[in-house]
Amino acid sequence: MIDIRNRLPDSWTRSFNTLKDRWETLSLREKRLIGTLAAILSLYLFWAGIETVLVDPYHRFLSEEQSLKSDILTAQSLVQEIRQSQEEIQKRSLRLTRDRSGFSLISYLEQEADQTHIRSSITQMTPRSLPPEENYHSTLVSIRIEKVDLPHILVFLARLQRSPHLIRISHLTIERRFDQHRLLDIRLDVQSIQAS
């Protein structure tokens, strides 16, 4: 049998012998204490090894999984927004197609004013063509409404906002009349967009 001490350098052999001599001089209680410390150190090193090999990769995997879930939720949200945008584009395209055949903004506004019983309060209605953009042309109608109460004007504005045509209110001014405080004077610009 080969003694491993014969293969070690002399300085190591001396250190080994010194440690062996010291070990033999220790009392049983001291040997047990050193054995307990060695066991604790071994358990610590064992747990550190497990943590390095298993726990750290597991935590990295959990972190990557959470990041992936977050990315998936973001992607789903974007898909939903894209679908809503596509639906809105389709609705507006249908409105443009429907309005292509002779939609008159001023006639439509007169009709809505009749429906909400404010036609007699309209003192001015001025149409204006705006410069075309690409394949679309736009008309703007400036309206002045005098001596109208708040409920009627709110109904009129709500009907314009829910219009089946592609129109928008681009400017609105509301002033209380100095002579009749419950009545209002309104100025608004309504713009329509139509396919050329």
Give the confidence band of 46 by pLDDT, cuts at 50, 70, 90: confident
The reported pLDDT for the residue numbered 141 is 92
Q: Which amino acid is residue 83, in one-letter code?
A: R
Secondary structure in 3-state letters for 73-105: HHHHHHHHHHHHHHHHHHHHHHHHHHHCCCCCH
- CA distances to 127, 155, 166 from 106, in Å: 7, 18, 14
φ/ψ of residue 162, rounded to 5: -95, 15
Domain ranges (residues) in the chain: 1-99, 105-195
Task: Tell me the mean pLDDT in the region 75-81.
Answer: 86
What tens digit of pLDDT does each residue of 24-42 get? 777 778 778 888 888 888 8
**CA angle at 123 for the pair 119 and 128, rounded to the nearest 5°:** 100
Which residues, at least 6 apart from 23, have a Cβ–Cβ distance to it below 8 Å?
31
pLDDT tens, 136-150?
A: 778 899 999 999 988
Contacts of 147 (CB under 8 A, 6+ apart): 121, 177, 180, 183, 184, 185
Residue 145: its pLDDT value, please? 92
Q: What percent of the chain has pLDDT over 70?
A: 86
- Evaluate whether 72 touches 168 at the Cβ level (below 8 Å): no
Q: Which residues contact 191 (CB under 8 A, 6 or more apart)?
A: 130, 138, 139, 140, 141, 167, 168, 169, 170
Task: Note the pLDDT of residue 131.
Answer: 79
Beta bridge partners of 169: 190
138 neighbors 192 (Cβ within 8 angstroms): yes
pLDDT at 99 over 70: no
Global pTM value: 0.50
Burial class (CB in 10 A: 0-12, 13-18, 19+), 113: buried
| pLDDT at position 7 | 56
Identify the CATH number of the domain defined by range 105-195: 3.30.70.60
Question: Is the dihedral angle over the CA atoms 8, 11, 17, 18 positive or is it negative?
Answer: negative
Give the residue among 140, 108, 107, 147 at the shortest CA–CA distance from 126.
140
